[in-house]
A = this chain, B = another copy of it.
Amino acid sequence: MNWIDLSGPKSEYVLSSRIRLARNLSDTPFPNRMSPEQADGVVSQVEGAVGKLTQPMRFIRLSDVADLDRDVLSEQQVISHEFAQAEGLGALACDEEQVCGIMINEEDHLRIQAILPGLQLDEAYAAASALDDGLEKEMKYAYDGRWGYLTSCPTNVGTGMRASVMLHLPGLEMTKNITGVLETATKIGLAVRGMFGEGSRLHGAIYQVSNQVSLGHSETEVIQTVKTVAEQIVEQERRVRDALQKSNPLWFADRIWRGVGALSSARIMRLKEFMQLISRLRLGAAMEVLPGISVKSVDRLMVEGQPGHIGKGISEDERNARDGLDVARANYMREKLKDNLSLM
């Protein structure tokens, strides 16, 4: 049970809250300049430190994780998309609940993260910070009295922290208010990205809002800013959803149900369309148009419909067949929604 299945505050609008801390060891060159031996040394050092934590964590070398499993982990946001693709001597640690995790030898020696369902940035920070403190007892971080934590990329220097929330904003998208809302967030120094981080396309009305810089403001200040902006956006989304539903309930229900209809009848479904449909389903669940379908069950479907999850469920032949993943995705969704068809 991780953020996907657990419910959190404002889950109707917020998929997850994530805190990520970038840390580097003081005695080793940073990842982009270190030798394979040094990389291996970092892995060993972190493995040792993780073993001494009071909270038990699994420790896995990336070379022991098959490509498809890496994609699965990335789609569950346990590791980054870039880390899933990486060659080289990476490793990862995570607790059983997949709330806390560490990527070792990603862009920095350590990327500590905590991810929780709904809007829970403070709670995620508390978890990440506790893990960070535990590790710091065993290792010496690269830290400068003036600059703070030193990192591979200058944008992370300082607190090394990125606080981000994953928002679902179908109402603001439908009413074309989304651009204005996000521009405001950008103006006060926040970054807006697609679901899978930097450069990822915006599908399914899912937007990741996070701080751009980590220098000059304390962790608490940054978290407060991201939280406040997220709450404001959520409030705007809430109002728009209510207005849409109230002004024409049948039109609203029609859009939602047609999404269900397509998801439960298609024989081929590309990722982009899937995300659009799952977004309508999530909205329908949140607005109680779809009796018996919860927001969290839609979040699970959304993750299960990603390429890694779908690919893992089929044979290599099926994966290599024409439209293989898209056919398997359609089949999977049809099967999953079959039990709910009687609701239509």
Contact = CB atoms under 8 A, between A and B. Distances in A.
B267 A250 contact: yes
Interface string A217-255: 000000000000000000000000000000000110110
Contact of A265 (B257, B323, B334): B257
Nearest to A321: B250
5 contacts: A250-B268, A257-B265, A262-B265, A264-B344, A341-B342
Contacts of A327: 250
A323 B250 CA distance: 9
A261 interface: yes
Nearest to A263: B261
Total identical chains: 2
Interface centre among A253, A265, A323 (most CB of B within 10 A): A265
Contacts of A261: 258, 261-262, 264-266
A72 interface: no
B338 A334 contact: no
Contacts of A206: none
A131 interface: no
A258 B260 CA distance: 11
Interface of A: 250-251, 253-254, 257-258, 260-262, 264-268, 322-323, 327, 330, 334, 338, 341-342, 344
Contacts of A253: 267
A287 to B, nearest CB: 14
A327 B341 CA distance: 20
Contacts of A267: 250-251, 253-254, 257
Given A261-B262, A265-B260, A323-B250, A334 B341 contact: no
A344 to B, nearest CB: 5
Contacts of A258: 261-262, 265-266
Contacts of A330: 254
Contacts of A254: 266-268, 330
Contacts of A251: 267-268
A79 to B, nearest CB: 33
A258 B268 CA distance: 10
A334 B251 CA distance: 16
A167 B81 CA distance: 53
